Structure formats: C-alpha cells, structure tokens
Amino acid sequence: MKKNYQIAVFPGDGIGIEVIREALKVLCVISESSGTSFDLTHGLIGGAAYDTFGTPFPGESLELALGSDAVLLGAVGGPKWEGLDYSVRPERALLGLREKLGLFANLRPVRVFEELVAASPLKPEVVRGIDIMIIRELTGDLYFGKPRGVRVEKGQRIGVNTLVYTEKEIHRIAIVAFKTAMQREKRVVSVDKANVLESTQLWRDVVTEVSRDFPEVDLRHMYVDNCAMQLIGNPAQFDVIVTTNLFGDILSDEAAMITGSIGMLPSASLGAKGGMYEPIHGSAPDIAGQDVANPLATILSVAMMLRYSCAMEKEASRIEAAVQEVLRAGFRTKDIHQEGTTLVGTAAMGDEVVKRCL
Ligand code: IPM
Ligand code: MG
C-alpha cells in the first residue's frame, strides 16, 4: 500500500477556508495514527484566485491538481464576484477542474444520521434511516454543451445552452451507478425527462442496455419532476439514483435538505484518474469568517478521499464513526442546532471530531 499521497488543497472562498482548516486537522491525526503521509500543497481558485491573478482558475492551480493524487476543495464564489463576466466567475474554476481532470462521476451520499432526524424539515418516520447515493454525471449536459451564450438577432437577445450527451458518456456513468449499487442494496433509479427531451431518451436507452450486464440490480426509470416529488414524499424507496448533470445538481440540493442541513453532505468527483473531494454546500458568504459554519461535510469529504483515492477504508470509516459520535454526544453547529443540544462553532466542532479520531 502507498504510504505517501500528494494532496492539492483549494480552500477557495467564504466558509471554504474555515471548513478546510477543520478537515485538515482531521487528516493530520489520521496521518499520524496510520503512518501514511499526506503532502498538502495549497493553491488558489475561485474569487481568491481572481483577486490575485485576475483569473479564477490559474494555470498553476491546474498543474497542481494534475500532479496530485487527490484534490480537496472548500467552496467558491460570493457576491463580490457576481457581476463578473462568466469567463472569470469563481464557478469557472470548479467547472474547469471537473473538465480538465475528467471527473465525470459525482458521488453525493445522502445519509440521515439518527441523531439528526429531528433536524430534518420532514417527519421523523419519513426520513429515519435514509441512505441514498446520488450519482450525478458531471462533465456533460447543459453545463458544457455547445453552442452556448447570448447573442443578438434581429434586435433581440437570444440565450442558448445545449443539452448534449454522447452514448459513451452515458455508458460510463451508468457503469459507475450499477457497480455502486452492487456494493449496496442493488437498486438503481435512473432519472431523466425522456417524455420531452430526446437526449434523455438516449440516456434511458443506454442505461437500460448497460443494466443487462448487471442482472442482479433492479433498475427503474423515473422522470425528474416525479423524482423531485418522491424525494420528499417517500425518500426511503431510493438506494442509488443516477442522473444527468443539471438534474443531479438540483436533486442533490433537495435531497440534502432531507438530512436537516446542506452542511452535512460530502461529495466525491471521480474520473479515470484521481478524484476531487468537496462539501456540496457553497461558500455561504453571509456566515463566512464567523466560526459558525458546519465543517462536517468537508470532514466527511476527507473520509471519501481516503476511501476512493487512498484505499484507506478503515480510516474513512473511523472518521465517519467519529462524526456520528460527536453528534451522539450532542455537539451541533448552528445549522443543525436544536434545544437540548450543545451549540459549538466551526473550530470546536473540528476539535470534537479530532478527539474521536485519535
Ligand atoms: C454544485 C454547485 C456547482 C454546480 C456550481 C457552484 C457551479 O452548485 O457543485 O452542485 O452547479 O455544479
Ligand atoms: Mg449545486
């Protein structure tokens, strides 16, 4: 087993900086106890990079990411940069990393911790025990399709984005979904809008074709509007959800709320080589720098990094168990705080996890 990993760390903007700090504390204790070393190199992306280099995604950050075993990322963006041209918005860095590293499979596990059942806006009996893996295609769809842009024709502006999927792109994400399901409850729901969009009829056809190689997995197809409804009404029916880039973006935020807070959800973006790990929440500029952000999503992203990029399953599970213990002990950041629990800040929450990883 490898004993040394190169990790590119991009805290980004807003609360990204604070949550990454806590996640690195956890990585540090894991390093000591496992004897595996992590060479951490910090880089700038997003608004922070724009302010320094005039671009949200400098070449040196790309080089750093390409030369690393894994990328750990906080969050990008903020009102300060919202007026900028699309080409230099902080979000371009995230999309650029996904594209350049070929990270086509985005894994977003949605787990309701028993301790947080009451923090969900849904009824306890609806959310108890929820454990869904959302697999979002990450390098296709309207996000990257061409043509795109706003042009003027006959005196009026026309905005265009293109929803395009190749057979190959659908095929490889379907394989990830079925393989993931084989490790879980062997159920896949593929989400599309095949009743209206031809490109997603192709999605449905290719997913069905791939399913023949996984006869043990139960495959169902669902329209995205119905899925949005089912996630609220009966989320327990889902094991693995596989869907397109845009639908996955929307459905994963919706599913995150089931867990009580978007501050709890980690993610892994995987490609042929390497991986990128980040919380699914954004930079939350309204609470940045106040020591109130929830670092657990980022800490859980470190667990995913150890699992998928470092073959350190035992250590990944240890972090996940530590998070659960912290919740059981009653510690809560503001987003998940409820009467009878102990309100802690970002750094204190990180410390509580660290103690339980030792
Ligand atoms: C996400 C985010 C990004 C996306 C934004 C920040 C570009 O919402 O990772 O879900 O839309 O993919
Ligand atoms: Mg999103």
Please give the number of the atom of ligand 1 that sits closest to the Cα of 252. Answer: 10
pLDDT value for 244: 98
Separation between Cα atoms, residue 52 and residue 42, nearest integer Å: 14
Nearest residue (by CA) to ligand 1, atom 7, is 91
Angle between helices 313-328 and 346-357 (to 10 degrees): 120
**pLDDT for residue 274:** 86
Mean pLDDT of 263-272: 95
Best mutation site among 45, 57, 91 for ligand 1 pocket (most ligand atoms within 8 Å of CB): 91
Q: What is the pLDDT of residue 272?
A: 86
Kindly list the structural domains of the chain, giving each domain's residue range(s) and its CATH number in brackets, ordered by start.
1-105+265-358 (3.40.718.10), 121-259 (3.40.718.10)
Asked if residue 357 has pLDDT above 80, the reply is: yes
In this predicted model, what pLDDT tens digit does every residue of 299-351 receive, in sequence order? 999 999 999 999 999 999 999 999 999 999 999 999 999 999 999 999 999 99
* Catalytic one of 13, 192, 193, 308: 193
Q: What is the pLDDT of residue 130?
A: 96
For residue 1, pLDDT beyond 80:
no
Of 141, 192, 239, 249, the active-site residue reads 249
Mean pLDDT of 144-166: 97
Indicate left, alpha or beta for 13 from its phi (over 0: left) and psi (-120 to 50: alpha). Answer: beta
Residue 35: CB atoms within 10 Å: 7
Q: Which pLDDT score is estimated for 92?
A: 95
- In the reported structure, the alpha carbon of residue 246 is separated from the centroid of ligand 1 by a whole-number distance in angstroms of 9
pLDDT digits (tens, 9 = 90+) for 206-219: 999 999 999 999 99
Q: How far is Cα 248 from Cα 273, in angstroms, rounded to an integer?
A: 22
Whether 193 is catalytic is yes
Active site residue 277: no
Type of residue numbered 334: K
Comparing 2 with 73, the larger pLDDT belongs to 73
pLDDT band at residue 2 under the 50/70/90 scheme: confident
Instruction: Please list, in sequence order, all residues whose beta carbon lies within 8 angstroms of the beta carbon of residue 356, skipping any fewer than 6 positions away.
Output: 321, 322, 325, 326
> Average pLDDT for residues 127-132, to the nearest whole number?
96
pLDDT of 94 reads: 95
Q: Is the CB of 177 under 6 A from ligand 1?
A: no
pLDDT of residue 302: 98
Annotated active-site residue 314? The verdict is no
Q: What is the pLDDT of residues 214-255, one digit of tens each?
A: 999 999 999 999 999 999 999 999 999 999 999 999 999 999
Q: What is the pLDDT of residues 48-92, one digit of tens each?
A: 999 999 999 999 999 999 999 999 999 999 999 999 999 999 999
CA-CA-CA-CA torsion sign (283, 285, 286, 287): positive
Whether the model pTM is above 0.85: yes
Nearest-atom number in ligand 1 for the CA of 76 is: 6
Q: What is the mean pLDDT of residues 14-32?
A: 98
From ligand 1's centre to the CA of 73, what distance in Å? 13
Decide the pairing of beta strands 4-12 and 70-75. Answer: parallel
- Pairing mode, strands 275-279 and 266-270: antiparallel
**pLDDT tens for residues 171-203?**
999 999 999 999 999 999 999 999 999 999 999
286 is catalytic: no
CA separation for the pair 335, 13 (Å, rounded)? 19
Choose one of 249, 250, 283, 298 to mutate for the ligand 1 pocket test, by most ligand atoms within 8 angstroms of C-beta: 249
- Region 272-277: mean pLDDT is 91
Q: Which two tokens stand for residue 41?
A: 């190199």
Q: Is the pLDDT of residue 260 over 90?
A: no
Would you say residue 158 has pLDDT above 80? yes
Distance CA 75, CA 283 (A): 5
